[in-house]
Amino acid sequence: MKDVLERLEDRRAEARLGGGQKRIDAQHARGKLTARERIELLVDKGSFEEFDMFVQHRCADFGMEKSHIPGDGVVTGWGTVNGRTVFIFSKDFTVFGGSLSGAHAAKITKIQDMALKARAPVIGLFDAGGARIQEGVDALGGYGEVFKRNVIASGVIPQISLIMGPCAGGDVYSPAMTDFIFMVKDTSYMFVTGPDVVKTVTNEVVTAEELGGASVHAVKSSVADGAYENDLEALLQMRRLIDFLPSNNTEGVPEIPSFDQPDRIDMSLDTLVPDNPNKPYDMKELILKTVDEGDFFEIQGKFAPNIITGFARLEGRSVGIVANQPMVLAGVLDSDASRKAARFVRFCDAFSIPILTFVDVPGFLPGTSQEYGGLIKHGAKLLFAYSQCTVPLVTVITRKAFGGAYDVMASKHIGGDINYAWPTAQIAVMGAKGAVEIIFRADMNDAEKIAARTKEYEERFLSPFVAAERGYIDEVIMPHSTRRRVARALSLLRHKAAETPWKKHDNIPL
Ligand code: HXC
């Protein structure tokens, strides 16, 4: 019996060595952790149970028949994050560059199937070069199986991808179909084809960072939802993110004990909005002063920062925050901001996370570059996303809510459940100057008349009261009591039920 047990330990030790000490050292020298070290940091201590440690590929071409490494380039299993179940696969770059064979794919699809059955999130840690070139169509077929499951699980269980090394081909397409992608700065890259292929096909010379580093995907392309300094920070932040998310689409949001009183008032908010309507202020200050313990997990913080999206809690329960940011482009809605917020709103709605919207928006960004880029369609995405929400929608207009953007930003008309305005709110088709120039064009040469008309417009329309008189705003609230009011509103809406007519699925403008 002792021999049998020892044999098991030997085989386990061999599997744990992956592609060998030399490659593990190379991994460390690049500032990266190994697949198993990453899992240890991600899950609660001692909670990881590994499956399929001895699986090997079945390829017999290009010398592969002589090269078998137990585990075949991916470590799979399940564990807990602060006590809640998560399923994990972690690509092992030391084994054939983490590339995907048929057997490797079967390990991942087994985890995906188990996670779907258990209704628990899947976290993929990627550090891999795509389809295993020696395997050909078996690898491509394997990816197809993974992709299909990504789609079936979408909207049922959260799927999170953390990119922790150079990733190509299927190892970027599968993450692209998950809910969130995060990267590690300077050591992770995402591209459909790497710099060498780019040079061969297009003659373009480009570095891996320029082609697909975190500086590209978390800032310019919006493929990534955020980037972290190193493996350790990234993994700890994934633990934090998981705490905000429901395990599936029916469980409801997690509740974490909060030490922050829900009726806490903050007098400094009464002076947050400057007297001058063209002066910016930081909407993040309002978010941090409203939510529990100032704890805010931002999504896509570096992309389209004219809109803010992220998770927070009120009375210990997760809430999605969407807020215009007057500090950037005056908080205008452009194509990028609309796309960013639309995707976030849809995630929240799919997983029954209530949405709190803070509005200070001068409208949609005019101009050819926006129109040529499809602003109409991208803006419609956000309008569509909010309009189809069945989760509780609580909205606070702090200052401007102009034009179509007023409608879009979770207004009463498209489904806002509780809509508040601060006394500083200005709800109108547009600002006074633009409005007067259009409706009093005939008086344009008479400065006195124009000044009087402008004042008249400002007094009549640039306040929350016209909307409040019509019931489009439920209540004009004191800024200092924002936290108390939204906490009460969310509590009121906790068991909101909304029926929508049966359909196979909608046809959101893509
Ligand atoms: C087999 C691979 C591999 C692959 C890397 N390796 N990619 N083996 N299949 N796809 C192996 C290398 O041979 C090497 O083995 C080890 O992994 C490390 O690779 P290096 O190239 O030395 O590392 P690095 O310089 O860091 O470059 C990493 C890389 C590069 C950027 C990922 O290896 C690369 O470009 N690989 C090919 C990417 C690719 O085109 N994949 C196919 C995509 S098509 P040794 O033994 O030397 O350690 C695809 C289809 C899916 O995925 C469908 C999409 C819709």
Span 23-44, pLDDT tens digits: 999 999 999 999 999 999 999 9
Q: Report ipTM for this prediction.
A: 0.97
319: β partners: 312
**Backbone torsion region of residue 322, taken as left when φ is above 0, otherwise alpha when ψ lies between -120 and 50, otherwise beta:** beta
Ligand 1 binding pocket includes 130 (Cβ within 6 Å): yes
What is the set of domains in the chain, with CATH numbers?
2-244 (3.90.226.10), 267-425+463-492 (3.90.226.10), 433-462 (no CATH)
- Give the residue whose CA is nearest to atom 40 of ligand 1: 193
Model confidence band, residue 443 (pLDDT cutoffs 50, 70, 90): confident
C-beta of 131 in contact with ligand 1 (< 6 A): yes
Tokens of 102: 């048929």
- DSSP β-bridge partners for residue 401: 361, 427
Residue 99 CB less than 6 A away from ligand 1 = yes
| pLDDT reported for residue 60 | 84
Residue 66 has pLDDT above 90, yes or no: no
- Residue 184, Cβ neighbours under 10 Å: how many? 26
Per-residue confidence band for 58, with pLDDT thresholds at 50, 70 and 90 = confident
The number of the ligand 1 atom at minimal distance from the alpha carbon of 128 is: 32
Which residues 6+ apart lie within 8 Å of 327 measured at CB? 280, 281, 282, 283, 305
Kindly list the catalytic residues: 169-170, 404-405
Ligand 1: which residue has its CA nearest to atom 18? 97
Q: Which atom of ligand 1 is nearest to the CA of 98?
A: 17
Does pLDDT of 444 surpass 90?
no
Q: Provide the percentage of residues in the chain whose pLDDT is more than 90.
A: 89
C-beta of residue 90 within 8 angstroms of C-beta of residue 39: yes
pLDDT average, residue stretch 382-403: 97
The CA–CA distances, whole Å, from 146 to 47, 109, 115, 151 equal 25, 6, 13, 9
Q: What pLDDT sits at residue 142?
A: 97
- Enumerate residues 6+ apart whose C-beta is below 8 A from 300: 218, 222, 225, 226, 309, 340, 344
Nearest CA to ligand 1 atom 33: 129
Q: What is the pLDDT of residues 80-122, one digit of tens each?
A: 999 999 999 999 999 999 999 999 999 999 999 999 999 999 9
State the pLDDT at residue 433: 85
Nearest residue by C-alpha to atom 44 in ligand 1: 169
Task: Spell out the alpha helix ranges (H) of 307-374.
Answer: 335-350, 368-372
Could you read off the pLDDT of 160-173 as tens digits, one per residue?
999 999 999 999 99
pLDDT at 315: 97
List, for residues 179-228, the tens digit of each pLDDT value: 999 999 999 999 999 999 999 999 999 999 999 999 999 999 999 999 99
User: Looking at residue 393, what is its pLDDT?
Assistant: 98
pLDDT at 64: 87
Give whole-number Cα distances, 421 to 270, 284, 302, 472, in Å.
13, 17, 28, 10
Tokens 């480009």 belong to 206
| pLDDT 10s digits, 476-497 | 999 999 999 999 999 999 999 9
Å from CA of 51 to ligand 1 middle: 25
Alpha carbon nearest to ligand 1 atom 24, residue: 166
Q: Which residues of 4-34 are buried (b: 16+ CB within 10 A; e: fewer)?
A: eeeeeeeeeeebbbbbeeebbeebeeeebbb
What is the rounded CA–CA span in Å between residue 179 and residue 159? 5
Question: If 0-12 CB within 10 Å is exposed, 13-18 middle and 19+ buried, where does residue 167 land?
Answer: buried
CB of 129 within 6 A of ligand 1: the answer is yes
Q: Which atom of ligand 1 is nearest the CA belonging to 192? A: 43
Mutate to test the pocket of ligand 1, among 32, 99, 134, 163 (most ligand atoms within 8 A of CB): 99
pLDDT category of residue 62 using cuts at 50, 70 and 90: confident
How much is the pLDDT for 458? 87
Q: Is 166 in the pocket of ligand 1 (CB under 6 A)?
A: yes
Please give the Cα distance from 84 to 311 (Å, whole number): 18
